Amino acid sequence: MKKYELTGETRIIQNGCEETELHRIRAVKTFGGVRSGDIGGWIESEECLSHDGEAWVYGDAIVSGKAHICDNAKVYDNARVYGDAIVSGKACICDDARVYDNARVYDNARVYGDAKVYDNARVCGDAKVCSNARVYGDAKVYDNARVYGSARLFGDARLRGNARVRGNAWLRRNA
């Protein structure tokens, strides 16, 4: 059974040189903290948001392209998830991945477990943020970089290449 429907409300955004039509969503059943009738965020197609689990797109958040939100993941505020990105809340023990504020997750990036990406943070390329990791501020994780464990990447930090930040590490500047 479907948990949401596309409303008649649409919006056009620019993705590089292309225009993308987005659709506002509305819950058709109650699940998690979402009640039947609640209005959600914006998705390009039903492939962007799973009908299983408690995943949801809130407010003015946008999910487009081949991006996919699944399990119990949450995307809200002005966050954007696009490209081939996956935000999944079930890959690790705590299944509550979240992307919010003005954060962006795109390309082939993965955010899962209890990971949080927020403020103006960017996760892109083949980067992964998982477990209990936090990426926030103006931090950027890209290329094949990984942030996991209880690590924190914040401020103007940049993590790139095959770099790893893990455990209880905190990184505020470039690596």
Buried b (16+ CB within 10 A) or exposed e, 113-135: bbbbbbbebbbbbebbbbbbbbb
- Kindly report the number of other CB atoms within 10 A of residue 166's CB atom: 13
Question: How, if at all, do strands 18-27 and 4-15 pair?
Answer: antiparallel
Residue 62 one-letter amino acid: I
Q: pLDDT tens for residues 39-88?
A: 999 999 999 999 999 999 999 999 998 999 988 899 999 999 988 887 87
- Residue 134: closest CA among 119, 120, 153: 153
Residue 90 one-letter amino acid: K
| pLDDT-above-70 percentage for the chain | 94
